[in-house]
Amino acid sequence: MTLNFIVNAIYGINNHICGINNTIDGINNAIYGINNAICGIKNSICGIKNATYGINNALHCIYNAINGINGIRTAINSQISFKNHPLCVFTIKLCVLPIDGKNT
C-alpha cells in the first residue's frame, strides 16, 4: 500500500512537472504568435507604403507624359507661330533649298 502510494505520488509529481512544461510551451507559443502577428502588421504597413510609392511613381509618369505632350505641342505651335517671323524666314528658306531638284 505504501509502495503504491509512493509510486502514485511520483507519477503525480511527474504529471505535474509535465503540466508546468506544457504551460511554459503554451506561453512560448503565445509569444511567438504575438511576434508573428506584429511582423504581419509591420509587413502590411510596408506593403501599403510600397503601394503608395508605386502610385506616386505612376502619377509622376503620367505627369511627365503630359509635360512631354505639352512640350511637343508647344514646339509645334512655336514653329507655326514663328514661321513668318522675319528672323525665321531666312532659316526656313535655307532648310527648303532644293537638293537634287527636290525640296527637303
**How confident is the prediction along the chain (104 residues), in pLDDT tens digits per residue?**
688 888 899 889 999 999 999 999 999 999 999 999 999 999 999 999 999 999 999 999 999 999 988 888 887 776 665 555 555 555 444 455 455 555 44
Given a contact cutoff of 8 angstroms between Cβ atoms, the answer to whether 104 and 95 are in contact is yes
Question: Cα(43)–Cα(35) distance, rounded to whole angstroms?
Answer: 12
* Residue 29 amino acid letter: N
**Rounded Cα distance, 102 and 83, in Å:** 21
Could you give the count of Cα atoms lying within 13 Å of 58 in the half-sphere of its Cβ? 6
The model's pTM is 0.49
